Amino acid sequence: MKSNIFKIGILLLSLGLATSCVNSDEYSNPNLDCVDPGLTANKTVAALKSEVLARGANATVPTRYTTTTNDIIEGYVTSNDEKGNFYKVVYLQTKPTDGSLPIGFSLPLDVTTSFGEGFYPGRKIYVKLEGLYTAMVDGILSIGGIYQPNPNVAAEIGRINDTEWKRYLFPSCDVVSEAELVHPVPFATAFADQYQGLLIDIQNVQFSDSSLGRTLYDVDSGGGATNQLIESATIPQTGGQKYIRFSSFASFYNQPVPEGSGTIRGVLTRYQSDFQFLIRSTSDFDLNGPRVDGFPPKVGNAIVYPATFNENFESYATSSSYAGINFPKYVNDPAIGGRYWDIRTFSSNKYAFMSSFGSGGSNKSYLVFPVTMTAGYKFSFKTLTGYYNGNPMKVYYSTDYTPGGIMSQATLVDISNNFAYSVGPSNTYATSFTNSGDYIIPATLSGNGYFIFEYSGQDDTGITTNVEIDDVKLVP
């Protein structure tokens, strides 16, 4: 067998691709004087994956591959760690010629930069399977070493050792363009195991409002990476909101989150139950279109800034299904998840209502009261909760919010701890409303401002408490 020899030049060629964010962060393939390894695949990835799945409940258990026929598979690299957003794992996909969907798989690899070793997008890689371990890991076929720090814990697929990987992995001289690999996918159907490891273009997509005004990696999120949110840029918006992940080690970590809509190219991965989409560089952003708001804020047509008011909601018609009320003097904003505040009634009493129960995802909805801030005046309200599983409420004031604007771009001062809230039972409703107590406007505030109620819940894993708000007051 020919030896695998690569003389990797230091010259990096600029690709010159336009992006909507920056175009100084593009990657380029090394200049190679390539000697082909002289290998031919004699086993398909589809056949290997079928064998692993045939283990049934043991498909997730690492199993050492043995063969008498020197089995070799091939795949084309989709990931790229040159810019630091991927770490010690290479993703590859097949390249079918019959129009069928490619199959993605992963190679955990203990090298500092796989890009520097020739693993860059479009390059065909041969994998000798004998001696490696295979398993389904979080829904994707993974081929690697074995990791078991002690005999009391279950073994996992681990990284192929940096001193041994050249016995198993062989970059070829065959390189195809990304256009031959990329698979366009609508946002609503993109986050599925069948697309893991593939190079995909998620179409008609944008970052969620909650991510705007932040950097891609946000130090305030904690940890070594940030999961920003993306959503459909279609009306109606479908598919909820999904994670796009940015490492603190990415060279573009401090770039601002793009505000437009369009297409994002990258590789789909999954950690446990959470899908995480990863870009290779900011060249993967093509977000030059206008933003789409499938659930825009309902802004009143008679906004004023009263020095005092007493809102008991009795003058409004009731609503249901979170279609929401257009309050003439207020703002009703479903920033995440598309649920507006409703007006409901019980025992001839009307109130503002919100819940995440049955929403199918995350919800963050705001009810905004414009006011004139007068030092010493008192702001208060009442709450009643039902089917309580946690407090979803926060209260803020702001002096720079713009009615109908993106809430995450305003300065919100959290005053939640100044109030008492209803803590209803978990299996029914509280029997009476809870008085919040008073927030006294400090001497540092004056002029136009806003008191803002925020409901933040999560239907499948988090808080779904039903909340009723009544008797919102600003008085001397």
DSSP string, 198-245: SEEEEEEEEE-GGGTTSBSS-GGG-SSEEEEEEEE-SSS--S-EEEEE
Last residue of a domain, one of 256, 271, 289: 289
Last residue of a domain, one of 289, 308, 336: 289
Q: Nearest-5° angle of CA 117, CA 121, CA 125?
A: 60
Determine, yes or no, domain membership for 337.
Answer: yes
Name the phi and psi angles at 47, rounded to 5: -65, -40
**Domain span at residue 96?**
6-180
Determine, yes or no, domain membership for 46.
Answer: yes
Do 29 and 110 reside in the same domain of the chain? yes
Do 176 and 194 reside in the same domain of the chain? no
Compute, in degrees rounded to 10, the torsion defined by CA atoms 460, 463, 466, 468.
-140
Determine, yes or no, domain membership for 283.
Answer: yes
Partners of 139 in beta bridges: none
Do 303 and 424 reside in the same domain of the chain? yes
Do 271 and 336 reside in the same domain of the chain? no
pLDDT at residue 9, as a whole number: 37
Determine, yes or no, domain membership for 410.
Answer: yes
Compute, in degrees rounded to 10, the torsion defined by CA atoms 41, 45, 49, 54.
-50
Do 155 and 224 reside in the same domain of the chain? no
Do 284 and 433 reside in the same domain of the chain? no
For residues 211 and 198, what is the distance between their CA atoms, to the nearest angstrom? 25
For residues 95 and 458, what is the distance between their CA atoms, to the nearest angstrom? 39
Do 10 and 127 reside in the same domain of the chain? yes
Last residue of a domain, one of 180, 215, 243: 180
CA atoms within 13 A on the CB side of 362: 15
pLDDT at residue 103, as a whole number: 99
pLDDT at residue 30, as a whole number: 60
Q: What is the CATH number of the domain that holds 254?
A: 2.40.50
Reported as a single tens digit per residue, the pLDDT across 384-395 is: 999 999 999 999
For residues 237 and 326, what is the distance between their CA atoms, to the nearest angstrom? 20
Do 282 and 349 reside in the same domain of the chain? no
Q: What is the CATH number of the domain that holds 412?
A: 2.60.120.260
SS3 191: coil
| Percent helix, percent strand, percent coil in the chain, to nearest 5 | 10, 40, 50
pLDDT at residue 3, as a whole number: 39
- Regions of the chain short of the pLDDT cut 50: 1-25
For residues 76 and 79, what is the distance between their CA atoms, to the nearest angstrom? 9
Do 196 and 281 reside in the same domain of the chain? yes
Do 236 and 357 reside in the same domain of the chain? no
For residues 368 and 258, what is the distance between their CA atoms, to the nearest angstrom? 26
Determine, yes or no, domain membership for 1.
Answer: no
Determine, yes or no, domain membership for 407.
Answer: yes
Do 335 and 324 reside in the same domain of the chain? yes
Determine, yes or no, domain membership for 35.
Answer: yes
Q: How many domains does the chain have?
A: 3
pLDDT at residue 345, as a whole number: 96
Q: Report which of 217, 216, 209, 215 is spatially closest to residue 233, judged by C-alpha positions.
A: 209
Do 219 and 341 reside in the same domain of the chain? no
Between the alpha carbon of residue 15 and those of residues 29, 30, 122, 267, the distances in Å are 9, 12, 14, 20
Between the alpha carbon of residue 250 and those of residues 208, 280, 281, the distances in Å are 21, 9, 8
